[in-house]
Every structure is written in C-alpha cells, then in structure tokens.
Structure 1
Amino acid sequence: MVSSNQVAEHVRSVHAIISRPQRPSGHELVARSWLRCFHDLGLDPASDEVPAPLAPQAWRERGDRLGEVMDSAVPEMQTLHRQLDDPQSALVLADRDGTIVSIVRHPGFAREASLRGLVEGARWSEDVQGTNGIGTVLAERHSLVISGDEHFFARHTDMVCAAAPIYDGVGDVAAVLGVCSLAPGGSRALRALVERSARVIEHRAFRARHATDYIIRFHAHAGRVLTAVDGLLALTPDGEVIEANHTAFELLAPEGETMLGRDVTEFFGQALPELLSRTFRSGFHALTLSMPQHQTWHLLAQQPARNRSQSGARGTDSASAAQALAELDLGDLRMAGNVHSAMRILDRDIPLLITGETGTGKEVFARAFHSSSQRARGPFVAINCASLPEALIESELFGYKQGAFTGANRDGRRGKVLQADGGTLFLDEIGDMPLLLQARLLRVLEERKVTPLGGENAVPVDLQLVCATHRDLRAMVRDGSFREDLYYRLRGMETSLPPLRERTDRRALIERCLAEEGAGRHPQVRLGAAAMAVLDRYRWPGNIRQLRYVLRTLVALCDGAEITLRDMPSELTEPPEPVVQAPAVAGAVVEQPDDQPGAAPSNLNPLQSAERDALLGELRRHRWNIAGLARELGVSRNTVYRKMKRLDIDTDTQAGDGF
C-alpha cells in the first residue's frame, strides 16, 4: 500500500502539473485526465475512500445487458489470465459506465483486490476512481496504460493498469477489458496482450450477434482476412449495412462518415449476390477486388450460418454453415481433409476424436467444430484431464450434491457434463483420464444421463462430445491403460492434426497468427522476407502454440512496421546441431555405443527420431531446465516429461551433455 509520505509527494506532483500552462511532452493524455479529475469533477488526489460496489443483482443485470460481449469475454479472460500468470493481478471486464461485471484473479489476490475496489459491481469511471486504465479508456476511446504515479489518486500509484476498449457495431465503446497489476514493469507487453484479447472478444461478439445475417469479412492485406483484425460488415439480404466492427469503420470511414444503411456496392463496387457467388466459386478463399484510387480489398462474403428460429433445421448451404471450420483450411492438404471430414459429421451426433502433438491446435479445431454446428449458441465447456489431480476429476466432470464430501460447497456444484448441456463438452488430454473415471464417462455417454456425487437421481444431458489427446490410444488399449469400449465410443470420427513442421501452409498460418497477435496496437506490423524465411524453416517443437508466443513477443517488442532478421530470437537463427553421417563406404558398419548420450533408440521411426532430436535440442538450449522449457512452449512440466518418456529421453542424457 502507499505510505503517507508517498501520498503527500503525489499530491504535490498533481498540483504542479495541472497548474502549469505547458504540459510536459509525452504526458498530454495524463495531464488531460488530471485536469478533468481536478477541475471538472472536483476530485482530491489524497482521497482514500473506496466507494461501495453495486449489489450483486444490479451488476449481474449490467453484465447480462452486454449480451454476446459478456459471453465472448469469459473464455478469453480465462485464457489471458493463464498467459499472464501474475498472482498479483486482476483481469476485469467493465461496461460502458465503468462498472466491473466480471473479474478473474488469483485466489491469493482476492483480499488485496477487494481492498482496492477491484470487485464486481465497483465503478472505475474517472468521476469515481480518477485517472485509471478503465475510466481513462472510456474518456479517451483508445487503449492505454496508466502506470504508477500517472494515476490521479495516490492510493492507486503502486499499480499498473492496461486497458483496451471493446466496440459495438455502431462505433461506440461497449465495454473495457483491463488488467490491474502490482507487478512492476512490462506495461508495453501488457498493453499489447490486452489489446489483442479485446479485439478477439469484439470479433467473436460481432459474429455471434449476426449469426443470422450476411457478413462481409475484408482487409487491405490478404493475410489479415479471417483473423481477429479483419473488417466485418453485417448486411441485410438486400445488401444494406446493419452494423460494422471497429476495423471496418477505420478502413471505410476514417473521417467518421456514416456507414450504417448504405449499400455494400458503395464500398466494394459489387452487389451482395455477386460477392456471394464469387466467394462460393473461389472455394471460400478471399477475393481480390481492385478499386479506383488504387485501393485493393481482399474479401469473403458469408451467408447466414442458419436460421436460428427454425429449430433443428439445417442451413441450405452446408459450406457457409460450416464457415468456422472452413477458416482453418489455409491450403495444407491434410488440414483440408480434416476440415472436410468434420463438416460431413456436423450435427449428426457423432463423437469427434482429435489427435496430434501438443500445440497443434486441437482446442481451436474443437471450438470451430462447435461454432459450425447447430449447438453454436450453446455452451462450449472444456476440461483438461491432465491438469487436474485424480481426486478432483470426478467432481469436476459430474458435479456433486450438498455434503457429498468434506470441504464440498454447501450448495453443491454442477459438473462440466451438466454445464455442457445443449452445447459441446471438450475433454482435452482424454488419454490421461484414470480408468475408474473412464467407466463412469462411458456410462454417461451410453445413458445420456449423469448422477452427481452424493446424488440419487440421474439428470438427462444432451451434448456433443469432442475429445483430444497427444497419446496413442490404440497402444493404451492394447496395454490396458485405456478402456477399449470407451475408445470405440469416443472414436466416432478421428482426425489427426499435422505438426506445424509438416504443414505446407506454414507461411499462410504465420501471416494469420501475426495478424491476430498484432491486433490492437500493431495492426500494420509485417514480417520481412528474411524473418519469414527463418520462421518458415524452424522446426517448431511446440507447434502453433510456440509460434504464437514467439510472434506475440516479436510484436510487443517491435518498434517499427517490419519485423526483421535482427529481431529474431537466437534459438530460431542458430544453425541446427550437426548430424554425424555414416561413412559412404560400401559395406562399412558404424557402431554406436548403446550408452552414448542422446542416441536415438532403434525402435523409433524416422519421424519420431527427428522429433526426439528437436526436443533434445530444446532441452540443451534450456540447460535441461524443464520448467523453463515448459513455460516457453506454453505447456505443463508433466507434458514435457511425458513427451520425454515417449521419445525415450531420460535425465541420464543430461550427464552426457556436461551439465
């Protein structure tokens, strides 16, 4: 907390700044806010009064009014919270009045957050909390960071607050996403992360809001179409603009002119039917439209996903109905086959099993499958079977009644299975589920009913099941560690996602990921040719997850408009370790001792041997720091250990490396 001496010093600084006729260069935004707080709002920078929050019913009603923004924000906030991994921070969503309607924080930070007013129902507009991330975003209408003594109230000067607006479809700010942290430094990267998540939320909310409307997705850069930074126009069947996202306003109406009610022909020179027809004929690849004044647009026209008012009715165009899946096809033949097969089982009550290495995008594929189905309006509930202790998995999955066990919530708890009723249940790392739980899950899938722990009555449940694993379930069935009957129940259709190093659409995928990671503060950042070549030829042992973290860091640290070879991390530019080749002598036999450190076991196929070499290289680069490698790849330590075990890498190899 802030000391009395620090309060007095801060008050003097505020008075000194607002009394000057000339503001310090680089502090115009903060000075403007301080002037509003002091002169217009009559606030005292020394005030330590924390206003009482709204009653739960009141702030919940405010959250409900956010509709699709609230629905889209909850999963993205959970994802961002895991990425930040900051035990001294609170991630908040506030409405257009600055009232917090959702908050994610570390349990150990709950008391401190409450003392600071970082709770649901608290209002963080400038008239209540002075200069701060949330309130000042609402006043300035763009993302920003308020750090330390840039806050108006002295009581906030030990915090860093990064926040970004979430716009509605008419150009107004609908909500604000913000992070308030006690950890010093990192404000630039923090702002970039918050901006990106705000754009993702805004994008998802727009598409959900207009699921029954025609949508145009476009951008001046081809690689940004079908990303979180492309422009979106929602249209009537006659081609009139109903709403537009913030990017569309920036691209088509930079001077603030009206867009709503205008015909799409005014912007792209062609009527909606022609744009739809051309998109269909292109196989749902972006069109290129050359306009007067040398303007080029890359564009996709999408039909409504389906008429939601017609219960159970399939859309007339299965391709447009499955657009979320179609967006995953960037040209790789294996991915194209996966997408096509998944489209064919949509809404057929066929379980989907997704396999592939860690980081290949299994959850992304599962979410696209859900979004393309008739259950898209229902919940998507994900649970990682490898991340929970065995003792907790049963209660997490099936829930429990009051008094089911010591320490149980007095009101009981609905499990993930019941939470997914009407939607999709995604069981990630299903191969890590204990055998006893496998039997219970099989019974639920067969009976379509679930009985919570401590309960007597089974509750009917209707859900689509999607599972994922990096394990070889067939081998696990053979060795008895996975039930054969459950395996065949889960494997309605199996799709295997290729590792990034084997995908032929790497460059297109890199461009898309770059556009998504650059959403917000760096929407125009691009990769130089040499930098792209480095990223394209790297083996990516952590696959797409690792690629995203690398790009996110590059974007956050980029000062210009282009990422160059000089910006590349050293591990990407260093040449691979030399491979000792056998002598090219007829009949020559080269013996390698069995105990040679790093030697690949003979039972591995060539692909596994290459994967083993890549993992060994990463382990050596991290000096066998498993935790550090796991953090870089965005996976748990257990995942790294499991992969080491599968590839026959043990810590004895470390001794041979001289560490």
Structure 2
Amino acid sequence: MVSSNSVAEHVRSVHAIISRPQRPAGHELVARSWLRCFHELGLDPAAEDSLPPLAPQAWRERGDRLGEVMDSAIPEMQTLHRQLDDSQSALVLADAEGVIVSIVRHPGFAREASLRGLVEGARWSEDVQGTNGIGTVLAERHSLVIAGEEHFFARHTDMVCAAAPIYDGVGEAAAVLAVCSLAPGGARALRALIERSARVIEHRAFRARHATDYIIRFHAHAGRVLTAVDGLLALSPEGEVIEANHIAFELLSPEGEALLGREVTEFFGQSLPELLSRTFRAGFHPLALSMPQHQTWHLLAQQPSRTRAQSGTRASDSASAAQALAELDLGDLRMAGNVHSAMRILDRDIPLLIAGETGTGKEVFARAFHASSQRARGPFVAINCASLPEALIESELFGYKQGAFTGANRDGRRGKVLQADGGTLFLDEIGDMPLQLQARLLRVLEERKVTPLGGENAVPVDLQLVCATHRDLRAMVRDGSFREDLYYRLRGMEINLPPLRERTDRRSLIERCLSEESAGRHPPVRLGHAAMNVLDRFRWPGNIRQLRYVLRTLVALCDGPEITLRDMPAEMLDAPEPLPPAIVAHEPVHENAAVPSAPPSNLNPLQSAERDALLGELRRHRWNIAGLARELGVSRNTIYRKMKRLDIDTDAQVGDGF
C-alpha cells in the first residue's frame, strides 16, 4: 500500500498541476481529469474512504442489462487472463456508469484486490475513484493507460490500469474492459491487448444482437474484412442502417455526420439486394467497390440468421450459422477443406480430432467450431493434457468430492468435464494423456456420465468433444501407448491443419493477424512491402503462434504507421527461402509428370506456385473437378473459383492429352 510520505508528496503534485495556467506537455489528459476531480467533483487526493460495493442482486442486474456484451466478454476475459499470466492483476468489465459487473483474477490476488475495491459492485467512475482507467475512459471516450502517480487519489498510485471502451450500436460507450495491475512496466503492451479484446467483445456482441438483421462487413483494407477491426452495419430489409459499430462510425462518419437511418446505397452506391447478390456470386468473398474520390471499399453482405431467430435462440457470435468457421478460410485449399468438413458435422454430436504441428491454430479452430454451433452460448472448457502433472490430470478432468484425498479443497471441486456441460470440452495434446486415464475417459464418452473422485453417484453430462494433438496417434496405437478403442471414439471427424510455411494464404493470414494485433492503434499499423516479403518467406517453425508473437512485438515497438525492414528481427532478415507452398503433400511427383505451364505474368511468385500445385492436382485427377473436390473436401465451386483466380483455363486439359 502507499506510504504516508508518498501520499503527502502526491497531494502536493496534484495541487501544483491544477494551479498552473498551462498544463505540462504530454499530460493534458491527466491534467483535464485532475481538474474535473478537484473543481467539478470536489474530491480530495488524500481521501482514503470509498463507497461500499453494490449488493450482489444490484450488480448482477446491471450485468444482465449488458446482454450480449456480457455474454461475449466472459470467454474473452478468460482467454486474456491466461494470456496475461499476471498474478498481481485483475481483469474487470464495468458498465457505462463504472460499476464492475465481472472480474477475473489470480486466486492469490483475491484479498489484495478486495482491499483495493476491485470487486463486483464497486463503482470506479471518476466521481468516486478520481482519475483511473475505468472512469477516465468513460469521460474521455477512448482507450488509455493511467499509471502510478497519474491517478488522482494517492491510494491508487501503486497501480497501473489500462482500459478501453466497448461501444454499442449507436456510438455510445456501453461498457469498459480494463486490467489493473501492481506489476510495474508493460503499460504500452497492456493497452494494446486490452484494445484488441475490447474490439473482439464489441464485434461479437454486435453480431449476436443483430442475428436477425442483414449485416454489411467492410473496410478500406481488404485484409481487415472478417476481422475484429472491420466496420459493421446492421440493416433493415429495406436497406436502412439500424446500428453501426464504432469502426463503421469512424470510417463513414468521421466528422460526426448522421449515420443511422440512412440508406446503404448512400455509402456503397448499390442497394442491399445488389450487394447480397454480388456477394453470393463471388462465393462469399469480399467485394471490391470503387467509389468516387478514389475510395475503394472491400465489403461482404450477409443474410440474417433466420433459423436461430425462428427457434427463439440468440446467436452468440455470428450472423450466420457457421460464420466463425468460415472466417478461417482465407484461400488455402486444405484449410477450405477443413472448414467445409467441420461445418458438415456441426451439431451432429460427432467428436472432432484436430491434428497439426504446434502453433498451427488448433485451439483457434476448436473455438470457432464451438462458436459456430448451437452450443455457442454454453461454456468452452479447455485443458492441456501435457501441461498438468500426471497426478493432477484425473482430478482436473473428473473433479473430486470433499475429503477425496489429502490436500483436496474442503468443498470439493467440479472437474473440467462437468464444467463443460452444455458446451464444448477441448482436450489439447490428447496424445499426452496417461494410458490409465484413457480407459476412464472412454467410459465417460460412452456412458455420458462422470463420477468425481471420492464420489459414488454418476452425474449426467452433455457436451461436444474436440481433441487436438501434434502426435501421430495411429503410430501410438500401433506401439501400444494409446488405446485403439479410444482413438476410434475420438476421431469421428479428423482434420489436419497445415503448417504456416505450406499455406498458400500466408499473406492474407499475416494481414489479418496484423489487423487484430494492432486493433485500436491510430493511425493503424501497416506492413511495408519489403517487411511483408520477409515475413512471407520466413519458414515459421512456431507457425501461427510464432507469427502472432512477432507481429505483437513489431506493433508494440513500431513508432510510425508502417513496419519497415529496420523493425525486423535480424534472424528473420537472414532466413532462407521456404519451400513453395503446396496444396497437398501426400502425392509424389513422377518423372513423367507434365511440366507446369508458364504462369501468366500478372501472378506473383506465391500465386504462381499455387497455380502450379493446382495444375498438378488437376492433371493427377485427369481434370475430374468433382473427384478433386471430393478428395480435398471442398465444393466444385471452390475449385472453379481457384482456377479462375489463378488463370487456369479448362482448355488447358487439351494440351495434357485429355
């Protein structure tokens, strides 16, 4: 806590600043807030007391009023809390009046957080807590960091708070997401993470709220469409704007012009039926619309989720049944096949097994599968079988009753299986599960019941199972280290995620990841051409996880709007060229195979390599489009779109002797 000497020194600093006719450069925001606190609100920087928190019923009602924002925030906060891995921080969601309605923190920080008022029901508006991350965001209407002595009250000067607003569909702040930490440093990185998560929550809530409306997703940059930083418009059947997200207000109404109630034609030059028709003809890929004044919009028009609306259920993450999965398809044929296969087993109670190298996005795919299903409003519970000691895996999975073993929690504990009831259980690195537990897991899957350790009665459980591994489970079955019966029970559908170095959509993926990692930056960060080439040719042994870490670091360290070669790590500048990306890797090239035809001059090297690979597959299938589509698990239209984009004419088969 703050010493009495520090309190006195801070009070003198506050009085010195608010009494100056001119504010210190670079601290105008803090000075404005201090003036509000002192002159308008009559606060004393040395005050120690604060209002008691609201009663549980009162703050829970406030949380319920947030509706889709609350639903979308809970899983994102849990994910961000794991990412922060800070035992001295609390991640909070507050409503538009600064009242905390949800909090995630390390168990060891619970007492300290309570002493500091970081509890549900506590009010953190400026009139109660002075200058602070939550209250000052509500006053200033943009993300910020209040660190140490920038707080108005001396009692808060040992904290750092990064916060970002979550906007509703009419341009007002509906809530605030914030992280308050006692750990010094890292404020800039905290702000970037909070901004990104706030945009994700805002996005999900908007799309869930408008599941019964037409949605336009757009941006000036093609790579930002279908990400957490694209503009969203909810439209009536007549094409009038009902609501818009914060990005849409920034893009279409930078000077504060009226946006709601206007016709979509005013912004994009085409009616809603025309945009829907063009989106359908483009295979649900973003359109490029050239407007006057040299403005180009990249846009996707989406139908309402009528099935869910008619059944009375609210979609939790998208305006179309499988939108979260569809967003994973950026153009790579193998990923398109994976997405297509996963869509076909949605809500059919078929287990999904995801294989792939470490870092290829197995958990991201699993979360998208969950978000696209009818279980989207239920919990998504993940457990890494490789990260827990063997002695703890059983109690973590199945839970235990009071007194089940020495050191057990006095009240017992629900296991991950029961926590996932009504939702999805994700078992990561399933190949590392001890052999003796595999038999018990198999019994749970077959009986749909779980018996906690020390318990006598089996508890029914209803869940979707998704497993992931980087191991060769079939080889493990052959050598006896993995049960054969469990393997066939888990692989109702098996998909294999390609490593990043082999994906043909690397550039699109890099652009999307950069947009997500730089969400909230003004001006937005972009990649210079040379820097993009470096990232594209790198072999990425850590796959997408490594890519995200690299981009996150580049965004945090970049001082300007563009990442250049000067910002790149030395080891990436010296990296060798990767192997050409392959569409499939299981078929060898024969000596008498036809030499790929010369690619058109308008294709870049990556597209040329993709064209050669697709031509090879077409020739192997003797230009049987349907056969190739079946093997890859995609539609024939997907193959035809690829052929058109890569300038492959069906007349080319004549030269192959077919």
TM-score by length of 2: 0.83
The DSSP-based 3-state class of the residue aligned with 1:177 is strand
Distance, in Å, in 2 between the alignment partners of 1:108 and 1:312 is 41
Residue in structure 2 matched with residue 23 of structure 1 by the alignment: 23
Q: Is the 8 A contact 1:227 1:512 kept in 2?
A: yes
Residue in structure 1 matched with residue 105 of structure 2 by the alignment: 105
Distance, in Å, in 2 between the alignment partners of 1:173 and 1:556 is 25
Task: Please give the residue correspondences for 1:317-332 in structure 2 after superposition, counting only pairs within 5 Å.
Answer: 321-332=321-332
Q: Is the 8 A contact 1:166 1:176 kept in 2?
A: yes
Distance 1:377 1:211, change over 3 A: farther
Residue in structure 2 matched with residue 238 of structure 1 by the alignment: 238
Q: Does 1:226 align with 2:226?
A: yes
Distance 1:360 1:403, change over 3 A: same
Residue in structure 1 matched with residue 599 of structure 2 by the alignment: none
The DSSP-based 3-state class of the residue aligned with 1:46 is coil
Q: Is the 8 A contact 1:51 1:117 kept in 2?
A: no
Residue in structure 2 matched with residue 561 of structure 1 by the alignment: 561
Residue in structure 2 matched with residue 509 of structure 1 by the alignment: 509
Residue in structure 1 matched with residue 133 of structure 2 by the alignment: 133
Residue in structure 1 matched with residue 178 of structure 2 by the alignment: 178
Task: Please give the residue correspondences for 1:108-123 in structure 2 after superposition, counting only pairs within 5 Å.
Answer: 108-123=108-123
RMSD, aligned α-carbons = 2.3
Residue in structure 1 matched with residue 461 of structure 2 by the alignment: 461
CA shift digits 1:563-598 (9 cap, x unpaired): 000001122123459xxxxxxxxxxxxxxxxxxxxx
Task: Please give the residue correspondences for 1:378-417 in structure 2 after superposition, counting only pairs within 5 Å.
Answer: 378-417=378-417
Distance 1:533 1:400, change over 3 A: same
Note the C-alpha offset of 1:88: 2.2
Q: Is the 8 A contact 2:517 2:548 kept in 1?
A: yes
Note the C-alpha offset of 1:508: 0.7
Residue in structure 1 matched with residue 267 of structure 2 by the alignment: 267
The DSSP-based 3-state class of the residue aligned with 1:354 is strand
Query: What stretches of structure 1 of length at least 5 have no aligned partner?
Result: 578-659
Distance 1:343 1:489, change over 3 A: same
Runs of 4+ in 1 over 6 A off after TM superposition: none
Residue in structure 1 matched with residue 356 of structure 2 by the alignment: 356
Identity of aligned residues (%): 90
Note the C-alpha offset of 1:109: 2.5
Note the C-alpha offset of 1:37: 0.5
Q: Does 1:53 align with 2:53?
A: yes
CA shift digits 1:522-557 (9 cap, x unpaired): 462110011111111111111101111111111111
Task: Please give the residue correspondences for 1:195-344 in structure 2 after superposition, counting only pairs within 5 Å.
Answer: 195-311=195-311, 321-344=321-344
Q: Which amino acid aligns with 1:148?
A: G
Distance, in Å, in 1 between the alignment partners of 2:163 and 2:61 is 23
The DSSP-based 3-state class of the residue aligned with 2:165 is strand
CA shift digits 1:437-494 (9 cap, x unpaired): 2212211211222233333333333222111111111111112221110100110111
Q: Which amino acid aligns with 1:84?
A: L
Q: Is the 8 A contact 1:212 1:307 kept in 2?
A: no
Q: Does 1:418 align with 2:418?
A: yes
Q: Which amino acid aligns with 2:40?
A: D
Distance, in Å, in 1 between the alignment partners of 2:78 and 2:298 is 32
Distance, in Å, in 2 between the alignment partners of 1:458 and 1:74 is 29
Distance 1:109 1:16, change over 3 A: same
Distance, in Å, in 1 between the alignment partners of 2:285 and 2:523 is 22
Distance, in Å, in 1 between the alignment partners of 2:50 and 2:404 is 39
Task: Please give the residue correspondences for 1:139-158 in structure 2 after superposition, counting only pairs within 5 Å.
Answer: 139-158=139-158
Task: Please give the residue correspondences for 1:408-487 in structure 2 after superposition, counting only pairs within 5 Å.
Answer: 408-487=408-487
Note the C-alpha offset of 1:182: 2.0
Q: Which amino acid aligns with 1:173?
A: A
Note the C-alpha offset of 1:309: 4.7
Distance 1:394 1:211, change over 3 A: farther
Query: What stretches of structure 2 of length at least 5 have no aligned partner?
Result: 578-658
Q: Is the 8 A contact 2:231 2:247 kept in 1?
A: yes
Distance, in Å, in 2 between the alignment partners of 1:486 and 1:193 is 39
Note the C-alpha offset of 1:517: 0.6
Distance 1:487 1:410, change over 3 A: same
Distance, in Å, in 1 between the alignment partners of 2:84 and 2:401 is 34
Note the C-alpha offset of 1:146: 1.0
Comparing 434-443 with 141-150, which one deviates more in the overlay?
Answer: 434-443
Residue in structure 2 matched with residue 85 of structure 1 by the alignment: 85
Distance, in Å, in 1 between the alignment partners of 2:303 and 2:405 is 51
Residue in structure 2 matched with residue 545 of structure 1 by the alignment: 545
The DSSP-based 3-state class of the residue aligned with 1:307 is helix
Distance, in Å, in 2 between the alignment partners of 1:570 and 1:280 is 44
The DSSP-based 3-state class of the residue aligned with 1:321 is coil
The DSSP-based 3-state class of the residue aligned with 2:510 is helix
Q: Which amino acid aligns with 2:421?
A: D
How many residues are matched?
575
